[in-house]
Amino acid sequence: MLPDPETPICSAKGCRSAAVWVLAWNNPKVHTPERRKTWLACEEHREHLSQFLGVRGFLKETVPFAEWEAREV
Beta-bridge mates of residue 24:
38, 61
pLDDT along the chain (73 residues), means of 10: 73 96 96 95 98 97 94 73
pLDDT number for residue 1: 47
Q: Which candidate, 40, 41, 34, 29, places its Cα nearest to that of 60? A: 34
How much is the pLDDT for 71? 85
pTM given for the model: 0.87
